[in-house]
Structure 1
Amino acid sequence: MTAPRGLRIWCEMVTHAEIAAPAVLRALAERKIGLIVAAQPGPRADLVRLAQAARDAGLSFAVWPMLADAAGRWASVDNAARFAAYVRTLVDELDAACALPEEIALDLEPPIDRLRRLLGLDPPARSAPHPEDGAAILGALVRDLGARVPTSIRVSAAVIPLILFDDETLGFERWLGTPVGSIGWDHASVMVYTTLIEGYSRGLLTRNDVRPLLASSCLLAAARFGARAGVSLGAVGKGALGDEATYRSASELADDVAIARAAGLEHLTLFDLGGVLRRPPWEAWLDAFAWTEPAPRLPEATWKSRATEKLGRGASRLLGVAGSLRRTRG
């Protein structure tokens, strides 16, 4: 069953047993919000039971593979071989247990330790070059899952919004090690978490500045990915980094939904169910996500939002030039 308007929710900071609680599945089913469930290496019994419970509740069910933090956690060219091997094993295990998901969602981000340093404005003194075959390995994984017999599996990508600033030089995409344009993703959800943009700006950007950034990001995503485009909104609760800023209230989530829908995006994903369940009344968060109508107009840009976009495009071009020079010299 496909959720109307493509409404789904990331499930990372929550156990599989918590997700499978009847009250939770019933609330999601009433609002037609599908599941994207994190799956790290380990026992599979709870995930298999959740897959069956989601099927019984009529919910769409996708699996979100993750490695341990020491292995990078998310998918990138740096851990592509290890990540692809894990995904293939995971799919085989779930298939054997009659719990095959409709979709695999790959979260394209740099290894978590590197991302923590970048967000802390403390990049490594020297960055090791990315493996040259990483994009090809991830691309082959996507093709193989799509051609799987007898049951094909869709593969989506969650992508960092910085890649929307890229032109043909692919500055941010190559620098981050997150191959987007070279792979035939079935769906691309751009992680435009307004709370994180505001929080990691360290006071430089306010809510009024990040609202137009969400709008422009949605428009850029639609232009780049067409019908495959979606946006991830958040955050309701903290994630794996542990220092993420969160929504002040459900009204801010509703505002983000209204903006995204006004920009033409109907495939929306919320981060994350764990945060929702820990901020009662939790049904209010699901209502804001599911029932908010499009805004009558998009928010007007501020001078800070315009400056942020110009800086992003300029940084992408500089990274692209630097990458071209490095490859030429190599």
Structure 2
Amino acid sequence: MFEIPRKIFLSFSFVLFFLLLTISLGCDENRGARENKSIQKNGREREIKRNFSLAVWAEFLEYEEYEKIYDRLEKLGIELFLRVKYGDFPHPSLEKMKFRAWLLLEEKDGYWISVWNAAKFFQLVSDFLKNYSVEWIILDFEPPYEFATKLTNVLDFPKVITLITPPDDIYEEGKKKIYEIIEFAHSKKVKVMCVAIPFIVDDILRNSEKIQRNLGIPLPENCDEYSFMVYSTILKSGLENAGIKIDTPEFFVWDYAKDIFKIFGEKSALSLGLVGEDTFGNKGYNSPDELIKDISAGLSAGIKNFNIWVLDNMKDGTGWNLEKWLDISYVEPSTPPRNETIESIRKFIVDVLTSIRRN
């Protein structure tokens, strides 16, 4: 059994803090068209198809910027997961693109959905569906934005986490309202994709709700698709900052993917990243080959739906590099070698999130 040396215990605490903070401040019905590719083999051209679906998260740019590249995304067979914030609509660009509506509140109201703001989210969903006819909406389950802004160092974590842990009555009331949101969307013939941090999976595996209660983010059972934020590059950066080197970060993807697929089957999806650099200085994939390794690991676990974080960083001083990152066809499924360090980190994080003392 691999054990965590005492001398790097604080380093692992830093990794836990770093992962949650970075994800918070970010980050089978086939989506869109599959891209067809042609390759040469034995002097003859044969056609192969992408053996998975691919989507991109789009959050920080103006809608007009996404509209300009929408045709290119369509040609690549890429679906757009578009941030639509409270107060942003109606907007003319939203009429000209097909997208999954990633609905978000203002930062002061929590930004992402949780039990604290479920009633406001119900109103947001209702207002949006009055204005637009879409096939999918996305609910992003994360602790309130306030949580991330209060975390300034790892030593703040125990105090801050207790501040966002809701009382039982707020949790149950918010959970009920979240189910009502999904039922309302279904009544409008709209599907709901639910997105969450991966540690919720461990809650479900333990037949528990402790982590969901502690963070105020109950994951509903009536979603049409479930995507979990398994960002291997952020894990790798966090570990390197703690003095720990890993050679196969894609094992983190596979380790969760196997459990996600076991629970959710064909409703499973993975959010992968990071492309580019985030505000914390995390370096993303060095090349598309590293992204392909993550996709390969997910495929080997049975998952076929992948969402890349983030479209915005596929643009640099020379323009958009969409083809560089998204022109991917067939990927061979491959299970990465076991990484005991990653297994231990996962267990450590889950144990910490489970053991939080509620007020």
**Shorter-normalised TM-score: what interval?**
0.7 to 0.9
Q: Give the CA deviation at 1:79.
A: 1.3
Q: Does 1:107 align with 2:123?
A: no
Aligned position for 2:186 = 146
Q: Is the 8 A contact 1:163 1:173 kept in 2?
A: yes
Indicate the SS of the match to 2:247: helix
- Write the letter of the residue equivalent to 1:216: D
- Which residues in structure 2 correspond to 1:160-175 (within 5 Å)? 160-166=197-203, 167-175=206-214
Within 1, Cα distance between the matches of 2:190 and 2:262?
Answer: 25
Higher strand fraction (1 or 2): 2
Residue of 33, 36, 61 corresponding to 1:14? 61
- Write the letter of the residue equivalent to 1:127: L
- Which residues in structure 2 correspond to 1:233-252 (within 5 Å)? 233-237=272-276, 244-252=282-290
Q: Over residues 64-91 of structure 1, what are the superposed CA-to-partner deviations in whole Å (9 max), with x where a residue is unaligned?
A: 1111111111111111111221221122
- Write the letter of the residue equivalent to 1:315: V
Q: Give the CA deviation at 1:109.
A: 0.4
- Write the letter of the residue equivalent to 2:86: P
With over 3 angstroms needed to count, the CA separation of the structure-2 counterparts of 1:116 and 1:259, relative to structure 1, is farther
- Which residues in structure 2 correspond to 1:83-232 (within 5 Å)? 83-94=121-132, 100-118=133-151, 120-121=153-154, 122-123=156-157, 124=159, 126-130=162-166, 131-132=170-171, 133-148=173-188, 152-166=189-203, 167-180=206-219, 182-201=220-239, 202-232=241-271
Aligned position for 2:110 = 72
- Write the letter of the residue equivalent to 1:106: L
Within 1, Cα distance between the matches of 2:229 and 2:141?
Answer: 10
Indicate the SS of the match to 1:20: helix
Aligned position for 2:42 = none
Q: Does 1:52 align with 2:96?
A: yes
Q: Is the 8 A contact 1:67 1:74 kept in 2?
A: yes
With over 3 angstroms needed to count, the CA separation of the structure-2 counterparts of 1:294 and 1:119, relative to structure 1, is farther
Q: Give the CA deviation at 1:172.
A: 1.7
Q: Over residues 184-213 of structure 1, what are the superposed CA-to-partner deviations in whole Å (9 max), with x where a residue is unaligned?
A: 111000110112222334335545253211
Indicate the SS of the match to 1:37: strand
Within 1, Cα distance between the matches of 2:342 and 2:71?
Answer: 40
Indicate the SS of the match to 2:105: coil
Indicate the SS of the match to 1:90: helix
- Write the letter of the residue equivalent to 1:135: K
Gaps of 5+ in 2: 1-29, 35-51
- Write the letter of the residue equivalent to 1:247: Y
Aligned position for 1:2 = 31
Aligned position for 2:14 = none
- Write the letter of the residue equivalent to 1:113: E
Gaps of 5+ in 1: 55-60, 95-99
Aligned position for 2:37 = none
With over 3 angstroms needed to count, the CA separation of the structure-2 counterparts of 1:207 and 1:26, relative to structure 1, is farther
The structure 1 segments of at least 4 consecutive aligned residues displaced by more than 6 Å after TM superposition are none
Within 1, Cα distance between the matches of 2:280 and 2:60?
Answer: 10
Within 1, Cα distance between the matches of 2:228 and 2:276?
Answer: 18
Higher helix fraction (1 or 2): 1
Scaled by the length of structure 1, the TM-score of the pair is: 0.82
Q: Is the 8 A contact 1:139 1:184 kept in 2?
A: yes
Quote the RMSD (CA, aligned, Å). Answer: 2.4
Instruction: Give the share of equivalent positions with the same residue, in percent.
Output: 22
Q: Over residues 77-124 of structure 1, what are the superposed CA-to-partner deviations in whole Å (9 max), with x where a residue is unaligned?
A: 111111221221122122xxxxx1211101110012313445842223
Within 2, Cα distance between the matches of 1:76 and 1:30?
Answer: 36
Q: Is the 8 A contact 1:8 1:268 kept in 2?
A: yes
Q: Give the CA deviation at 1:245.
A: 4.1
- Which residues in structure 2 correspond to 1:277-316 (within 5 Å)? 277-278=315-316, 281-287=321-327, 290-295=328-333, 297-315=334-352
**How many residues in Structure 1 have an aligned counterpart in Structure 2?**
300
Q: Is the 8 A contact 1:37 1:62 kept in 2?
A: yes
Q: Is the 8 A contact 2:112 2:144 kept in 1?
A: yes
